[in-house]
Amino acid sequence: MAYRRRNGHDTWHYCRNCTLWPTSDYKEQSTKPTTGELCNQCRSKDSAGTCTK
């Protein structure tokens, strides 16, 4: 699974169908981030089973 955050921001996204999913100027990693926070929209989609990973 990919985790992305916009450069200069602390919020990580992991659902490709999140409206805030970064498509340019971002950092990506495959492991769960240990700093920053996870996007609330991604967390909601994950809980509802609608997250596209």
pTM of the model as a whole:
0.94
State phi, psi for 43 to the nearest 5 degrees: -65, -40
Per the CB < 8 A criterion, the answer to whether 51 and 17 are in contact is: yes
Domain boundaries along the sequence of the chain = 3-48
State phi, psi for 52 to the nearest 5 degrees: -95, 110
pLDDT tens-place string over residues 1-53 = 999 999 999 999 999 999 999 999 999 999 999 999 999 999 999 999 999 99
